[in-house]
């Protein structure tokens, strides 16, 4: 197979399941794959993708649904009297929401550095799922506001393992032509968790008073216990990394590793780069600072999910109807996420999609600030989940493809971006007051959207400048790119920053 691409071809991804990687100028193909015909090679690759799609992706998706249900059920509990039972003020409830991120954010970084050195990452992730499920169930036993804060802080620490670990884990299995739709699948699972979390909450809260237990306590008991059980089951299903996976034959393992290596160089399963050296390389890459800031602004917009039941409740429906009305926007968001990432993978583009989402979200922020019309306000709430969160999917795809090597750097970068960017969830929790217009919240979100558009445009200019330096062939210009995070092996592979 010819590995050379024309400039036009560089902007459009190949058909999924086809890998144009028979040889590279730096790392030769494993001997076991040389005897395969082109048809056998492509069939083997498609078989690997199909196996991972059928086993890894659904398992990660189920776990992410649990992750979001357990994180968001406090917002549902608010509608069923937890504030009255624990004698909380509005500001104290905001603190209970935000304190989860005090534990959640800092522990992501060490967790993602650890996962690169664990032979069974699936087991590690699933054990964390079972632990946070038990902690979530324990929330039902709290009697005071202080106890709720303690449980929420510990819950955040346990949940820190999952999201950055899952993104890194998927990037170890899927190529750049495949990763976007799989990240979209993860976010679709998030929206399923949001949508059905509200529906489940509406059903569970009907148990209010059964055995003299408040409905919000039943919510934590049932959803937390389900998380523990499913976490244990998934631990028996989740495979390892491609290089040591038991679900693949030896020949499939060779190709599974080669698919990933051939795109950006470096031995995916045999790299000797230390965890801390990879961490240092992530910190020294100037692109990381911009991506952290972009993600912080994007998560500022995404904070709307933490208070979505409250926003819908401002339409003055009953508590049960408000919970039911939270489902349609998330279902729509899941469908739009898939369309966005399918287009992104197909056209190998990210930047115009981010700008489009930002533009839509700005208009949607204006509507609730300027009208009390129920139809108009609910329309904006239908659109906001996908428009405000959509850029996050595209940013995570950027992170894992632009900061790919060494693998420890990719893991550290993913965790740093999510952890530092996620600090926005702490302070944004205090913005959602003064219903029905929520001027502080929607004004801040609109400002974040405008600043995100400016920052991502500057990032685009930066990576296009780096591509020009790589295209020049001038050793001095290429040396500048090497200082910016590109490895010599990536240069020899004719690697470029794509999608912008």
Task: Please state the rounded mean pLDDT for residues 391-420.
Answer: 75
What are the structure tokens assigned to 166, written together? 């899952």
DSSP assignment, residue 265? Answer: -
pLDDT tens by residue, 235-253: 888 877 888 788 888 898 8
Task: Please state the rounded mean pLDDT for residues 329-342.
Answer: 85
Which among 296-300, 326-330, 415-419, 482-486 has the top mean pLDDT? Answer: 296-300
pLDDT at 273: 57
pLDDT at 405: 60
Residues 6+ apart with CB under 8 A from 114: 124, 275
pLDDT tens by residue, 157-167: 998 888 888 88
Q: Which CATH class is domain 39-492?
A: mainly alpha
**How far is it, in rounded angstroms, from Cα 469 to Cα 496?**
10
Which of 184, 122, 131, 101 minimizes the C-alpha distance to 419? 101
pLDDT tens by residue, 88-136: 988 898 888 888 888 887 888 788 778 877 778 888 899 999 999 999 9
Residues 6+ apart with CB under 8 A from 43: none
Cβ atoms of residues 406 and 279 within 8 Å: no
pLDDT confidence tier of residue 402, bands split at 50, 70 and 90: confident
pLDDT tens by residue, 182-225: 877 877 777 777 667 767 777 887 888 888 888 889 989 998 99
pLDDT at 278: 65
Residues 6+ apart with CB under 8 A from 283: 412, 416
pLDDT at 212: 87
pLDDT at 364: 92
**How far is it, in rounded angstroms, from Cα 237 to Cα 241?**
13
Task: Please state the rounded mean pLDDT for residues 317-335.
Answer: 80
pLDDT confidence tier of residue 413, bands split at 50, 70 and 90: confident
The percentage of residues in the chain with a pLDDT greater than 70, rounded to a whole number, is 87
229 vs 105, higher pLDDT:
229
Task: Please state the rounded mean pLDDT for residues 43-66.
Answer: 88
Beta strands in 182-248 (DSSP E): none
pLDDT at 461: 94
Does residue 295 sit in helix, strand or coil?
Answer: helix
Residues 6+ apart with CB under 8 A from 377: 314, 315, 367, 368, 371, 436
What are the structure tokens assigned to 383, written together? 């659109």
Which of 251, 242, 247, 244 minimizes the C-alpha distance to 44? 251
Cβ neighbour number for residue 359 with a 10 Å cutoff: 12
Residue ranges of the domains in the chain? 39-492
**How far is it, in rounded angstroms, from Cα 383 to Cα 133?**
31
pLDDT at 408 over 70: no
pLDDT confidence tier of residue 421, bands split at 50, 70 and 90: confident
Least confident of 215-219, 399-403, 471-475: 399-403
Cα distances (Å, whole numbers) of residue 282 to 192, 295, 442? 33, 16, 33
pLDDT at 9: 42
Rounded to 5 degrees, φ, ψ at 130 are -65, -40
pLDDT confidence tier of residue 179, bands split at 50, 70 and 90: confident
Region of residue 279 (left: phi > 0; alpha: psi -120 to 50; beta: else)? alpha
pLDDT at 174: 84
Cβ atoms of residues 124 and 112 within 8 Å: no
pLDDT at 148 over 90: yes
Least confident of 82-86, 151-155, 271-275, 423-427: 271-275
Does residue 499 sit in helix, strand or coil?
Answer: strand
319-322: long-range contacts (C-beta < 8 A, 24 or more apart)? 319/79, 319/80, 319/205, 320/202, 320/205, 322/79
Task: Please state the rounded mean pLDDT for residues 259-273.
Answer: 58
What are the structure tokens assigned to 191, written together? 């929206």
Which of 73, 2, 82 minimizes the C-alpha distance to 306? 73
Average pLDDT over the chain reads 81
pLDDT at 493 over 90: no
pLDDT confidence tier of residue 17, bands split at 50, 70 and 90: very low
Task: Please state the rounded mean pLDDT for residues 73-87.
Answer: 84
pLDDT confidence tier of residue 78, bands split at 50, 70 and 90: confident
Query: pTM of the prediction?
Result: 0.69
Residues 6+ apart with CB under 8 A from 466: 481, 484, 486, 497
**How far is it, in rounded angstroms, from Cα 92 to Cα 109?**
28
pLDDT at 19 over 70: no
């Amino acid at each position: 197979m010819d590995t050379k691409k024309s400039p036009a071809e560089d902007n459009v991804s190949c058909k999924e399941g086809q890998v144009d990687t028979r040889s590279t100028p730096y790392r030769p193909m494993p001997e076991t794959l040389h005897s395969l015909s082109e048809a056998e090679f492509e069939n083997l690759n498609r078989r690997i993708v199909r196996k991972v799609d059928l086993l890894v992706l659904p398992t990660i998706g189920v776990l992410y649904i649990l992750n979001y249900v357990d994180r968001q059920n406090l917002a549902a509990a608010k509608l069923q009297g937890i504030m009255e039972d624990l004698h909380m003020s509005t500001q104290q409830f905001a603190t209970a929401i935000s304190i989860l991120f005090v534990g959640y954010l800092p522990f992501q970084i060490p967790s993602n550095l650890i996962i690169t050195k664990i032979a069974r990452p699936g087991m590690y992730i699933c054990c964390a799922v079972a632990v946070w499920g038990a902690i979530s169930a324990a929330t039902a036993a709290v009697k005071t506001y202080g106890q709720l804060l303690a449980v929420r802080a510990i819950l955040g620490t346990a949940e820190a393992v999952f999201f950055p670990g899952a993104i890194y884990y998927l990037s170890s299995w899927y190529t750049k032509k495949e990763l976007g739709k799989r990240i979209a699948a993860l976010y679709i699972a998030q929206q399923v968790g949001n949508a059905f979390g509200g529906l489940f909450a509406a059903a569970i809260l009907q148990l209010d008073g059964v055995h003299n237990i408040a409905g919000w306590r039943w919510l934590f008991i049932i959803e937390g216990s389900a998380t523990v059980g499913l976490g244990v089951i998934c631990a028996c299903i989740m495979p390892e990394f491609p290089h040591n996976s038991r679900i693949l034959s030896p020949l499939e393992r060779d190709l599974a590793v080669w698919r990933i290596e051939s795109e950006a160089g470096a031995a995916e399963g045999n790299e000797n780069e230390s965890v801390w050296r990879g961490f240092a390389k992530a910190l020294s890459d100037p692109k990381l600072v911009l991506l952290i800031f972009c993600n912080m602004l994007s998560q500022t917009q995404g904070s709307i999910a933490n208070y979505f039941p409250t926003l819908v409740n401002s339409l003055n429906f009953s508590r049960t109807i408000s919970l039911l009305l939270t489902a349609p926007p998330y279902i729509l968001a899941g469908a739009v996420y898939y369309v966005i990432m399918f287009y992104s993978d197909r056209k190998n583009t990210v930047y115009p999609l981010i700008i489009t989402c930002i533009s839509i979200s700005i208009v949607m922020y204006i509507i609730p600030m300027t009208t009390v019309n129920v139809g108009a306000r609910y329309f904006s709430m239908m659109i906001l989940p996908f428009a405000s969160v959509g850029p996050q999917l595209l940013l995570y795809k950027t992170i894992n493809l632009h900061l790919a090597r060494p693998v420890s750097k990719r893991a550290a970068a993913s965790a740093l971006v999510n952890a530092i960017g996620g600090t926005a969830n702490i302070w944004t929790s205090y913005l959602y007051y003064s219903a029905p217009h929520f001027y502080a919240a929607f004004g801040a979100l609109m400002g974040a959207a405008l600043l995100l558009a400016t920052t991502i445009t500057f990032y685009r200019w930066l990576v296009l400048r780096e591509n020009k330096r790589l295209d020049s062939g001038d050793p001095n210009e290429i040396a500048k790119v090497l200082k910016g995070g590109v490895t010599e092996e990536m240069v020899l592979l004719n690697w470029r920053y794509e999608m912008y």
